[in-house]
Structure 1
Amino acid sequence: MTTTLGTASASPGEIDTGRLEVGETRDGSPFGLPVAVINGAEPGKTLYVQAASDGDELNGVGVLSRAVPRIDPTELSGTILAVGLVNYHAFQVAEHRNPIDDTKMNRTYPGNESGTSSERIAHATFQIAREADLIVDLHQGSTSRMIDEVRVRCGHRHRLHESCLELARVFALECGHILDQKGPEGQLARAAPNEGIPTIDPELGGAVGWDEGSIEKGVAGLFNVLRYYGFLEDEGELVEQTRATGFDQYGSPVGGLVRFEPSLGERVAAGDTLFEVTTPFGESKATVTADNDGIFWRSRRLPQVATGEYVCSVGTDLEVI
């Protein structure tokens, strides 16, 4: 059966790309999101994958640009539906939030077809996603430095928690870390499980840019999903990974320049120094230590901080699964 997404249309064993029209720009010109349909030669599950719902998180775009050309639809069972970049307006100006309505796109799901610019785009993409059996929403740490990890955002008590966690373990083969913590309202990884669809939110590294190492980990994760869930013949695998169910965030007690003690991904113990704040001349003003054992998970990209400004995060309540 032919599968259509926007202007992309593919019969079994074919791939096609096109655009999904979702509105008009300020001069009245129509605009559309880049989409792809990979229709397998054999029937099977449907995977929905999207990138750049936050406009400056580019590693997910890199994953799709690497992965899609490597997928042979004649060897595929099932269908892959992909939106190459969701936050159209923010992507054009390399910003995190949609500048049309100053909104973070990944807080607007399931969207509203009569709402703001972001809500309309969220609604259009959610209508595609809700027809899938599995969802992968590709992200990265935006302006922060961060380890490669995968997030389960539905919450431990959700009826789909174990299915989402299994999908995270499959994708996180190369990343090795999972944050299993309920996310904010409006995230796709919160909204889609309510529709009965296992969904994950891979955070592929961090800081604004295009990181080849994180991109290749994302490509490997995506292919492991395809193998594990039967889209490809080769069987996917599960390996031991570290899950964090808590997240300690640290701000600066003073203003100055930050010097970090641990490296990203390094284990820390309660009482270990996380960072020191100095004057521009290197004089120490404050030292901040870890409250709990954990993994040094995320940190700010630039060293200058004001009093109370975010500095870093530690993943806590660790378990190997």
Structure 2
Amino acid sequence: MTTRLGTASAGPGEVDTGRLEVGETRDGSPFGLPVAVVNGERPGKTLYMQAASDGDELNGVGVLQRVVPQLDPTEIAGTILIVGIVNYHAFQVAEHRNPIDDTKMNRAYPGSENGTSSERIAAATFDVAKRADLILDLHQGSTSRMIDEVRVRCGQRHRLHDECLELAKAFGCGYVLDQKGPDGQLARAAPDEGIPTVDPELGGCVGWDEESIRKGVEGVLNVLTYYGFLDGSIDLESQTRASGFEQYGAPCGGLVSLQKELGDEVARGDTLYEVTTPFGEPKETVTADSDGILWRTRRLPQVATGEYVCSVGTDVDTY
């Protein structure tokens, strides 16, 4: 059976790309999100993938750029639906939020077809996502430095929590943040529709990072194999899971010197970072409140009072 997504149309054993029209730009020209359909020759599940719902998070775009050419629909069971760039307006200007309505796109789901720019894009992509059995929403830690991880955002009491956790394990980045996310995230909204959903957070960088993209490509192929889209099998590997997330800010202005590396284990009372003057004179030392793992850090050393410095994943276990 032919599968359509926007202007893309693919019969069994075919791939097609096109556009999903979602509105007009400020000069009245129509615009559409880039989409792809990979229609397997054999019947099977449907996977939905999207990237760049935050316009400066480009590693997911890099993953799709590399994954799609590798997919031979004659060797696939099932269907893969892809929106390559969700936050169209932010992507054009390399910004995080949609500049048309100053909205973070991944807080707009399930959206509204008669709402703001972001709500309309969210509604259009959510309609596509609801056609799927599984969802991968590809992200990164914006322009901060961050480990490669997968986020399970539905909450541990959600009826689909175990299925989402299994999907995260199949992706296999090595680290999982298992913490209920804010309202409006796709990974919060889609499980309410009965669809296991995770958002891989593929590192953090300016532009994109080849190592994080490589891990993302491997993760997508792992999912396709584990859930039967591709022939073969994979053994699920244990993941390091954090169920809490503590953020640390600067107690004063100056230059930050981190004392831990990303992925390092942290014990309560360990020094996380020091703040000095431009001449190296010590001003403040910040220590960890809890045991955990250094998960994310700012990229630039200069800080003002109260500015974000780093995050520690806490309540860590292995599953």
User: Is the shorter-chain TM-score for this pair beyond 0.5, marking a shared fold?
Assistant: yes
- Partner in structure 2 of residue 179 of structure 1: 177
Show CA shifts across 1:15-73 (max 9, x none): 00000100000000000000000000000000000000000000000000000000110
223, 226, 236: which one pairs with 2:224?
Answer: 226
- Partner in structure 2 of residue 304 of structure 1: 302
The DSSP-based 3-state class of the residue aligned with 1:55 is coil
- Partner in structure 2 of residue 273 of structure 1: 271
2:259 matches 1:261: yes
Bigger Cα displacement from structure 2, 298-307 vs 72-81: 298-307
CA distance in 1, matches of 2:247, 2:65: 33
The DSSP-based 3-state class of the residue aligned with 1:157 is coil
CA distance in 1, matches of 2:110, 2:33: 17
292, 295, 314: which one pairs with 2:293?
Answer: 295
Q: CA deviation at 1:208?
A: 2.1
The DSSP-based 3-state class of the residue aligned with 2:86 is coil
CA distance in 1, matches of 2:110, 2:234: 31
2:112 matches 1:125: no
- Partner in structure 2 of residue 47 of structure 1: 47
CA distance in 1, matches of 2:311, 2:195: 29
CA distance in 2, matches of 1:158, 1:239: 23
Q: What is the aligned-residue RMSD (CA, Å)?
A: 0.5
Unaligned runs of 5+ in 2: none
Show CA shifts across 1:239-263 (max 9, x none): 0110000111111111100000010
Residue type of the alignment partner of 1:290: A
- Does the aligned pair in 2 maintain the 1:298–1:314 contact within 8 Å? yes
Bigger Cα displacement from structure 2, 233-242 vs 80-89: 233-242
Q: CA deviation at 1:221?
A: 0.2
CA distance in 2, matches of 1:162, 1:223: 21
CA distance in 2, matches of 1:4, 1:309: 46
CA distance in 1, matches of 2:103, 2:138: 18
- Partner in structure 1 of residue 99 of structure 2: 99
4+ long deviations beyond 4 Å: none
Q: CA deviation at 1:236?
A: 2.5
- Does the aligned pair in 2 maintain the 1:226–1:236 contact within 8 Å? no
Residue type of the alignment partner of 2:243: T
Unaligned runs of 5+ in 1: none
213, 230, 238: which one pairs with 2:236?
Answer: 238
CA distance in 2, matches of 1:227, 1:154: 24
Residues matched between the structures, number: 319
CA distance in 2, matches of 1:15, 1:148: 29
CA distance in 2, matches of 1:183, 1:208: 24
- Does the aligned pair in 2 maintain the 1:52–1:58 contact within 8 Å? yes
- Partner in structure 2 of residue 210 of structure 1: 208
CA distance in 2, matches of 1:62, 1:157: 33
Residue type of the alignment partner of 2:251: P
Q: CA deviation at 1:233?
A: 0.8
Residue type of the alignment partner of 1:196: G
The DSSP-based 3-state class of the residue aligned with 2:217 is helix
Residue type of the alignment partner of 1:137: D
- Partner in structure 2 of residue 142 of structure 1: 142
- Partner in structure 1 of residue 247 of structure 2: 249
* Percentage of identical aligned residues: 78
Q: CA deviation at 1:287?
A: 0.4
Residue type of the alignment partner of 1:46: T
